[in-house]
Each structure stands twice: as structure tokens, then as C-alpha cells.
Structure 1
Amino acid sequence: MTPSGAPRALLWDVGNVIVRWDPRTLYAKIFKEPADLDRFLSHVGTLDWHAATDRGVTFADNIAALSAEHPHHAEHIAAWWDRWPEMFSGTIPETESVIEDLAARGVPQFGLTNMSGETWPGVRAMSPAFRHFRDTVVSGDERVIKPDPRIFEIVLARTGLAPGELLFVDDSAANIAAAAAMGFHTHHFTDPAALRPAIERFGLL
């Protein structure tokens, strides 16, 4: 769907748009052999398994269920929560800079993240840029994840804005496609250096 009008507010994804998150950052410390690392992340601690926490399942329950299936990996699975902060490798300065400049211009900014409600407070503390968000829709609290259209409907209800008034920035092509189908303006985040020029083309900077 072609958006109507120009955007006047930003809707930001969080992981790998504002903060860098990758389970490999942690598990490369745990598994010394690359083949063991790949095997664990592709067959045990998978992103599909982790998605349950994004849908509102607690880390404790999700870890217990997987540990019952793979008891010989129980210690490794427990690290997903016990050492959760080690999956992060800092913020993305280019995005933080854009958020700060948009805030200086008075552009409303919001967040939409696939994330457990248990982890959002800690992630929010990783960057001062989050203080500019008027609201953040966290999938774990809503029990629905992107790219389900229902979570975008929640955003519209919470912000009071129409899809064509929001520019959505996300690193997932599937999420971008879902938002675009609903009439949001979109920018697929693949290169931090390309972010500012894209925001400028939309006339927000």
C-alpha cells in the first residue's frame, strides 16, 4: 500500500538498529570450536526457540522446556539468561545521532521491538537515546510479535497516528514488508551510514 502524505514521526526497531544483539557474541566465548557453536545455535538455542520469550513466555519457562529436551546442554541453555548482557556489543552511534537530532527538531519518536518484557528495562538503559521515545511497544508484553499486523495495530492505537504519518525503521525485510503493506513509510536498515540520508529524503532532518 502506498503511504498517504509525508511521515511526521519515527517508529524504531531496537535490536540491530539501535543496539547490537547477537547470541554468537556470547556463545563464541562458551564454545571454542566453531562447529560446536554452529551446531548449538542451529539445533538447540535457535532463534525460533528464543522467539517464545518475545511472545511473552518467561525466560525461566522457556529455558526449562529446552533443557528438558537437551539435558546435556542445560548449562549452555541457562547461559542464554544468566549471561544475557554478553549477547550485546554496544550501540549503533549513527542511529543514536539521528535520534538525538530528530529530538532536537521535535519529531515524535516511538519504539516497536520483538523483545521480552523481562529484558526491555536493561536494554533501554544501554543508550540515552531511548529517553526520547514517547512510548515503546514491546512484543513480550503484548504477546504478539512482528511481522504480525496486530502489533502494528497496537502501535497505531498507542500513538494515535495513522500509518502514513509514521516512518518505520527495521533491519528485518519481513517486518518492513508487513508495515509497508499497512501503509507505513519504511526504511530497511542494512547500513548505518545509509540511515541519515534516508531520514533526510523523507524530510524529517
Structure 2
Amino acid sequence: MEIKNIIFDFGDVLLDWNPRYLYEKHFEDKNEMNYFLENICNHDWNREQDRGRPFAEAVQILQRQFPEYQEKIAMYDDCWATMLRSDIPETVEILNSVSKTHNIFGLTNWSAEKIKVAYERFDFLKQFDGIVVSGEEKLVKPDHRIYYLLLQRFGIKAQESLFIDDNPANVKAAQELGIYAIQFTTPQSLKEELKSFNILV
């Protein structure tokens, strides 16, 4: 087995994104903020933007349901860039290292509208050999079809590829398709796992 291609997830692997970075500045009550992020602008709602739903439509849906939070719901779109705090330097360092010896690809659940913010802010994303963004394809991980799309679009083989993602369901889906996969927890543990694949020394 020779790994030729390394596929990176973006959020919580290479990029530090969290809605709390925005809303902790706009809620005086932490419990209310938690309620808002767990029950209103929550993961399932945001996932539909990752699947391609426009933010303007998504915001209107919630504003009709929760008129008392109209302003804060609008912030999720208008102030989205505040949620994207930074890159994760230790993982970017790993990326820079493996890119010298392997093809590197991105496979991310991300809004087609908001991925532009990441592209504009982080130059290291320019070195990828190819990137598949869920919002542009109207498919989200762990749907097998988005993995197949990446393999076919860039002409790479599952058995020659290694996928890195923090979400266990996404890792499992890759493995089901014959792609080697690592669940990301910390940059240090990723280094150790990559050494076990003889990718880092």
C-alpha cells in the first residue's frame, strides 16, 4: 500500500470555526446563547447551508419562526466571518510538510457563499491540488456520493488515498469506500498517525 493522496477536512482540522466566537459578544446570558445555538441557529439548520441552501433563505425561515431573535439570526449571515477565528497553525504545518511529497486535496462541508471568506483569508488553501466544497455540489459528508465525486473529479484511487476528518461518521464513510482514514483529534496525534503510515518521519 502506497499513499499518494492526502485529503483534508477544513473545519476543526485546518481552520478554527465556531459560532460562539460571534455570539459570546452579543449574549449577556451564556445559557441563553447556548439555547440559541442548540435550538435556533443550530447544527442541523447550518448543515442545510453546507448542502447549498442560500443564507438569505435560511435566515428568513428562522426569523419567521423566532421573531424575537431576528437581529441575532441575521448576524449568522452578516457577521459570519467573525466565527472563523484563525487557522490551526500546527495542522497547517503538517499540511505544508506532506504537500512536498503527496498530492493534497480538500473535502469540506462548507457553504458555497462562505468558503470565499476562507479562500480570501488563508493563503495556504491555494496549494491544494483540488477542493470539493459541499455547498457547491449540493452534497454533504458522510454521503458516499461526495467522496466518489472527489475521487472521480481528480482521477485518484481510494486505496491510494488517506482522509483526515474530525467527525467519526465522515471517517467511517471514507473507510467504507476503501479510503484510508484518520479521525483528527489533535495535531500531535495526527503526526503520530501519519508516521504509522510512513508519511511523516
Which 5+ residue runs of structure 2 have no aligned equivalent?
none
- State which of 45, 51, 62 in structure 2 corresponds to 1:49: 45
Structure 1 match to 2:86? 90
Partners of 1:203 and 1:42 lie apart in 2 by 41
* 2:185 aligned partner: 190
Q: CA deviation at 1:6?
A: 2.8
Displacement after TM superposition at 1:160 (Å)? 0.8
The answer for the alignment partner of 2:106 in structure 1 is 111
**Larger mean Cα displacement after TM superposition, 115-124 or 72-81:** 115-124
Match of 1:76 in 2: 72
2:55 alignment partner in structure 1: 59
Write the distance in 1 (CA, Å) between the matches of 2:113 and 2:155: 26
- Unaligned runs of 5+ residues in structure 1 are none
Q: What's the secondary structure of 1:30's corresponding residue? A: coil
Higher relative CO (CA 8 A, sep ≥ 6), structure 1 or 2?
Answer: 1
Give the 3-state SS of the residue equivalent to 1:145 in structure 2: coil
- Where do 1:1-205 residues align within 5 Å? 5-105=1-101, 107-205=102-200
* Identity across the alignment (%): 34
Query: Is residue 98–residue 196 contact of structure 1 (8 Å, CA) maintained in 2?
Result: yes
How far does residue 24 in structure 1 lie from its aligned partner after superposition? 1.1
The amino acid of 2:121's aligned partner reads M
Moved over 3 A (4+): none
Residue-by-residue CA offset, 1:182-202 (whole Å, 9 max, x unaligned): 111111001121122222221
2:118 maps to amino acid: V
- Distance in 2, Cα, partners of 1:37 & 1:49: 16
Q: Which one-letter code corresponds to 2:161 in the other structure?
A: L
1: CA distance between counterparts of 2:121 and 2:98? 19
User: What is the aligned length?
Assistant: 200
Deviation of 1:125 after TM superposition, in Å, equals: 2.8
Contact 1:8 1:204 in 2 (8 A): no
Q: CA deviation at 1:203?
A: 1.8
The residue type paired with residue 103 of structure 2 is: P
**How many Å apart are 1:169 and its aligned residue?**
0.3
Contact 1:111 / 1:136 at 8 angstroms: preserved in 2? yes
Q: What is the RMSD of the two structures over their aligned residues, measured on CA atoms?
A: 1.1
TM-score, structure 1 as length reference:
0.94
